[in-house]
């Protein structure tokens, strides 16, 4: 994959550009994608996910020849949101998120809300998309008026990445709600570009949503098969040993969390 350099503003659609933060890791892939929403003629912009508290990255986001009018968070995780307070200090823009605890000078986001700013031509539609975390949100990017102009792409944060699957938070993630979220995105994202929180953008979000759904059902099937072989008293550690034989040991903790979340989901299915 040819991936862009860090700290470079790269247009992706008519209204959405991305800056890649230099914070690569197993979870963040090459780094966090910070999205800048504005038409070429706009003086103001909306920034989605300023990323970690990285002064260099935040300065790149705030020094692009436009005023940042609003900061949005797809969810609370530090690689997306830790820089929000400092970015507000640099720009003066309010920070809005689904969870009011992560809002700074702005109101909590509401599912279905249309974000329309006077000096930003594109509009965003908020979709509360719980699963990865309870406070996860996606943003539908419209060229002008939401619903009456082209849907250019959907910013997904960690709900769907540009490749690989994403972890479900053990503290407040929910596999059942995540499967519902993925089904919604598969339906609404057909032939719509995926603008992910990590990894490269893709031309059809629905394709990746289907892969995510299939992968989750595959893991659930694996658990059922291990129960048949070893009984339901099999430990989570043993389940992970059997199910994730091809996974890098560095990702074992993520596999343990995902398995415990899957077990919690199966317990609700009777």
Q: What is the pLDDT of residues 107-125, one digit of tens each?
A: 999 999 999 999 999 999 9
Convert the pLDDT of each residue in 90-102 to its tens digit.
Answer: 999 999 999 999 9
pLDDT tens digits, one per residue of 159-203: 999 988 888 988 999 999 999 999 999 999 999 999 999 999 999
As a whole number of angstroms, the distance between CA 222 and CA 228 comes to 10
Handedness of CA 198, 204, 205, 210 (dihedral sign): negative
Could you tell me the two tokens for 45? 């912009």
Q: Which CATH architecture has domain 8-207?
A: 4-Layer Sandwich (3.60)
Residue 34 pairs in a beta bridge with 19
Give the pLDDT of residue 5. Answer: 81
Mean pLDDT of the chain: 94
Alpha-carbon span 269 to 49, nearest angstrom:
35
Contact indicator for 59, 90 with CB cutoff of 8 Å:
yes
Quick check: helix, strand or coil at residue 171?
coil
Instruction: Give pLDDT, residue 3.
Output: 58
Q: Any idea where the domains of the chain sit in the sequence?
A: 8-207, 216-269
Could you tell me the two tokens for 9?
């503003």
What is the pLDDT averaged over residues 4-17?
92
Distance of CA 29 to the CA centre of its chain: 13
């Amino acid at each position: 994959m040819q991936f862009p350099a860090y700290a470079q503003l790269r247009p992706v659609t008519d209204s959405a550009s991305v800056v890649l933060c230099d914070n690569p890791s197993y979870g963040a892939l090459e780094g966090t994608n910070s999205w800048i929403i504005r038409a070429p003629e706009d003086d103001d912009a909306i920034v989605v996910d300023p990323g970690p508290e990285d002064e260099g990255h935040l300065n790149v986001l705030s020094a692009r020849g436009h005023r940042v009018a609003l900061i949005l968070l797809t969810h609370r995780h530090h690689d997306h949101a830790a820089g929000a307070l400092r970015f507000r200090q640099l720009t003066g823009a309010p920070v809005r998120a689904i969870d009011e605890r992560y809002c700074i000078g702005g109101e909590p986001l509401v599912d279905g809300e249309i974000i329309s700013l006077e000096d930003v031509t594109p509009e965003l539609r908020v979709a509360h998309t719980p699963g990865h975390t309870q406070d996860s949100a996606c943003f539908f990017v419209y060229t002008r008026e939401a619903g009456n102009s082209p849907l250019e792409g959907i910013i997904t944060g960690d709900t769907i990445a540009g490749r690989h699957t994403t972890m479900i938070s053990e503290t407040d993630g929910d596999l059942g709600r995540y499967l519902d979220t993925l089904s919604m995105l598969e339906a609404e994202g057909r032939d719509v570009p995926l603008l992910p929180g990590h990894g490269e953008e893709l031309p059809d979000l629905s394709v990746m949503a289907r892969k995510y759904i299939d992968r989750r059902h595959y893991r659930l099937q694996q658990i059922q098969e291990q129960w048949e072989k070893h009984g339901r008293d099999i430990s989570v550690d043993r389940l992970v040993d059997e199910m994730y034989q091809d996974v890098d040991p560095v990702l074992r903790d993520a596999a343990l969390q995902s398995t415990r979340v899957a077990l919690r989901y199966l317990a609700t299915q009777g």
